[in-house]
Amino acid sequence: MENMIDIDVLVAKALQFLEKVQALVMQPALWLQFAVIAAVFVVARWILAPLLKRLLDALIERTARVPNFRRVWLALGQNRNTIAWLMLQWLAIKISSQFGWPQGLLITVASLLTAWVLINLASTLIENPGVARVLAVLAWTLAALNIFGLLDPTMEILDSWAVQIGQLRLSPLTVVKVGLSLWFALWLANGIAGMVERRMARSQGSSATTRVLVSKLTRISLVTLAILVALSAVGIDLTALAVFSGALGVGLGFGLQKIFSNLVSGLILLMDRSIKPGDVISLGPTYGWVNHLGLRYTSVITRDAIEHLIPNEELIVQRVENWSFSDNLVRLRIPVGISYDSDVRLAMKLCLESAVQIARVQKDPEPRINVTGFGDSSVNLELRVWINDPQQGRGSVISDVLLVIWDKFHEHGIQIPFPQRDLHLKSVLGEQEVSALRQALSSNEAS
């Protein structure tokens, strides 16, 4: 045990370490770096941080309707002092490198500040705690590697583990760069697309379909551009992906045929404006108003407050009744039957008077009523009225009109018939049997 642990050797090494620390402390370059760090901190805390706060407050106010950007500005505002210090710290490192001054302590402080800022931003912006924890570990690891001068060798090692796929060179470092670039590019594209959508939603000089079309095309274009820019930024030759993208496109064409059919149908609906948000449509048993028109589906809300998500392809290939395609004026047909003993002209007059008493029934065009035929049990009438708010439903208007007709018919003695049938008996009996049958029927009627 005494041979394994030599106290004299340990003491000698401790003394050597203390001598190195003493020599380092006595160097003027170290104190100069301390002075630079202190000066940078004071300038960042009292000059740059207030300016940064005013800038971030203005950005927060301008992007109040864009959640993606607003969360970032809020997170940056909470860490503005550290960010201001970090910005000036890296500026001091650049200046020191230009003049050949020592910068070891400056790089250490800058690395620690960078890791601290990244961890705070990740904990604020990323809702998943597992992902935030991974990013925190990654940030501290990068900071430690940079402090000990191992960051560049580590990156070279990661880049050396590459796999050649045709003309595409793929390494762990490339994967990391692509992931970070795609994340930032897609976040920026979605944020800009959200701003365009909200600006178009507030635009009153364009139609609803134009606003939706511009918003969707803008989002698709920005996402596509973000992917291309991110891949090009990390040095991936896009021509190397031509064969792979062609094979992938064929596979997607067969496997996702319905999805692409709905996407194309959505673009057609947006461009030809046959169906637009706010229209009242009827598709099979579904009757309601169009709440949202997307690229994959159309949202239709019925009078029962049930939202139907209808694939766009069905709106293209099936017959659709658009009640408000040209305008909101819609005619309703209300059948009415009266008995043959009633005054037909009086009944028609009462029906017209009943219709004009309903607030939703339009006076121009005025209601009309026609005799449509002589039925088995009634004279058939048809009352035709106009409304200009089909999105409020048809059933309530028809019900209100029929209730008023019911009251007026009772006031004026107009009878609403029930089904009647005449029974004719062909006599095959003798006179005595017929006479007995007649007496039996007479007694039943008398009773």
Q: pLDDT per position in the chain (447 positions), as tens?
A: 444 455 666 666 666 656 555 555 556 666 677 777 788 888 888 888 888 888 877 877 776 666 666 777 777 777 788 888 888 888 888 887 777 777 777 777 777 777 777 777 776 666 667 766 777 777 777 767 766 667 677 777 777 776 766 666 667 777 777 777 777 777 778 777 777 777 777 766 666 666 777 777 788 788 888 877 777 766 666 665 555 566 556 665 665 677 777 777 877 887 777 788 888 888 888 888 888 887 788 888 887 778 888 888 888 888 888 877 777 788 899 999 998 888 999 999 999 999 999 989 998 889 999 999 998 888 999 999 999 888 787 888 999 999 999 999 999 888 888 776 666 655 555 566 667 767 776 666 555
Which residue type is seen at 417? P
Query: Strand (E) positions, 75-224?
Result: 163-165, 168-170
**Buried residues in 75-98 as b, exposed as e (16+ CB within 10 A):** bbbebbbbbbbbbbbbebbeebee
The tokens for 377 are 């049990």
The CA-atom distances, in angstroms, between 38 and each of 33, 41, 88, 89, 91 are: 9, 5, 11, 10, 14
pLDDT at 1: 42
The CATH topology of domain 265-322 is SH3 type barrels. (2.30.30)
User: Is 265-322's fold the same as 328-447's?
Assistant: no
**Domain chopping of the chain, boundaries:** 12-149, 174-255, 265-322, 328-447
What is the rounded distance in angstroms from the CA atom of residue 303 to the CA atom of residue 301?
7
**From the candidate CATH numbers 3.30.70.100, 3.40.720.10, 3.90.1300.10, 3.90.1640.10, the one assigned to the domain spanning 328-447:** 3.30.70.100
- Cβ 93 vs Cβ 146: under 8 Å: no
What is the rounded distance in angstroms from the CA atom of residue 45 to the CA atom of residue 248?
53
Sheet strands side by side (includes 330-338)? 330-338, 379-387, 368-374
Residue 250 makes CB contacts below 8 A (sequence gap 6+) with none
- Integer Rg of the chain from CA: 41
What is the rounded distance in angstroms from the CA atom of residue 42 to the CA atom of residue 36?
10
What is the rounded distance in angstroms from the CA atom of residue 176 to the CA atom of residue 158?
10
pLDDT at 334: 92
Ramachandran assignment for 327, one of left (phi > 0), alpha (psi -120 to 50 degrees), beta (any other): beta
Which residue type is seen at 150? L
- Cβ 388 vs Cβ 346: under 8 Å: no
What is the rounded distance in angstroms from the CA atom of residue 239 to the CA atom of residue 168?
9
Looking from the CA of 272 toward its CB, the CA atoms found within 13 Å total 9
pLDDT at 380: 92
Q: What is the pLDDT of residues 419-431, one digit of tens each?
A: 766 666 555 555 6
The tokens for 283 are 């598709």
DSSP 296-352: SEEEEEETTSPEEEEEHHHHHHS--EETTSS-S-EEEEEEEEE-TTS-HHHHHHHHH
pLDDT at 237: 63
Find the helix or strand (DSSP H, E) in which 10 lies: helix 7-25
What is the rounded distance in angstroms from the CA atom of residue 370 to the CA atom of residue 348?
8
Mapped onto helix, strand or coil, the DSSP state of residue 277 is: coil
